[in-house]
Amino acid sequence: MLKVENLTKVYPGGTVALKDLSFEVSDGEFLVIIGLSGSGKSTLLRCINRLIDPTEGKVILDGIDVTASKGAELRHIRRKIGMIFQHFNLVKRSTVLTNVLNGRLGYLNPWTTTLGIFPGEEKKRAMDALKRLGIDDKVDSRADALSGGQQQRVGIARTLMQEPTLILADEPVASLDPVLAHSIMQYLERLNKEDKVTIVCSLHYLDLIQRYATRVIGLKDGIKVFEGLPSEINREKFKEIYGEEAQDVRATALE
């Protein structure tokens, strides 16, 4: 469903974040991208939904060239791509309900939503999404009153509102402790298995990779250095991707 061709991104100032990157993702996959921070994972994910414009190359989603679209067309593509962030990116002073409803903005009348009016069925849909993630009791709380794990679940609920066919998850568990990390990953897994949503996710922990991924891509300095099954990643490969100096990271990541 997703095809990335020769993607290159050079930031103003000359930093090369991605270099001639190509890969394909088919329906229902759980693709995990690994690599050091600064290896281009976030840039890659943001190039897919065009939060960042790539310098060269193409992103093709379900046969539509994402890189060539703009305006309303781009927004229509975006609303089918959910995104989950490391720092949750919730509007902290808005309520949980508003934050979840925000996920529906691309579908709704821009005028009424500008006035802060959401249709009743959307509110019901938001409640359903929160129920599914087990935080419907927090619906009227302010987002910053929630714990990290709860905030990320609100983030996922927001994504559910988009009825996505593809979810991009940018280190969704890097700000959470390991127990919460598993619970968040399980929600993603259920979306992947039950709703048949394709997932492209960047991760750090080897055990999480081996537990959830169907396929893995390794990035180093913007170049693809590995592509294969999670079982193919052993200590050697991990060291290769993360570099010699990353001994500590590797050790803890392998625990």
* Closer residue to another protein (CB): 149 or 155: 155
Tokens read off for 188:
């993603």
Q: Minimum Å distance from CB 186 to another protein?
A: 22
For the purposes of burial, counting CB atoms within 10 Å of the CB of 194, is it exposed (0-12), middle (13-18) or buried (19 or more)?
exposed
CA dist., res. 2 & res. 4, Å (int): 7
Cβ distance to another protein smaller for residue 104 or 224? 104
* Residue closer to another protein (CB basis): 19 or 79: 79
Two structure tokens written together for 115: 């006035």
Q: How many of the other CB atoms lie within 10 Å of CB of 251?
A: 10
Q: For 185-188, which contacts have Cβ atoms below 8 Å and span 24 or more sequence positions?
A: 185/211, 185/212, 187/133, 187/153, 187/156, 188/30, 188/84, 188/156, 188/212
Q: Is the CB of 102 or the CB of 183 nearer to another protein?
A: 102
Contacts with another protein, residue ranges (CB under 8 A): 49, 51, 72, 75-83, 85, 87-94, 98, 102-107, 110, 113-114, 116, 155, 158-159, 161-162, 168
Residue 113 CB, shortest distance to another protein, in Å, is: 6
The smaller minimum CB distance to another protein, of residues 4 and 233, is found at 4
- Cβ at position 131, least distance to another protein in Å: 20
- The separation between CA 59 and the C-alpha centre of its own chain, rounded to angstroms, equals 16
* CB closer to another protein out of 39 and 152: 152
Q: Which amino acid is at 39?
A: S
Query: How many helices (H) does the chain have, and how many strands (E)?
Result: 10, 10
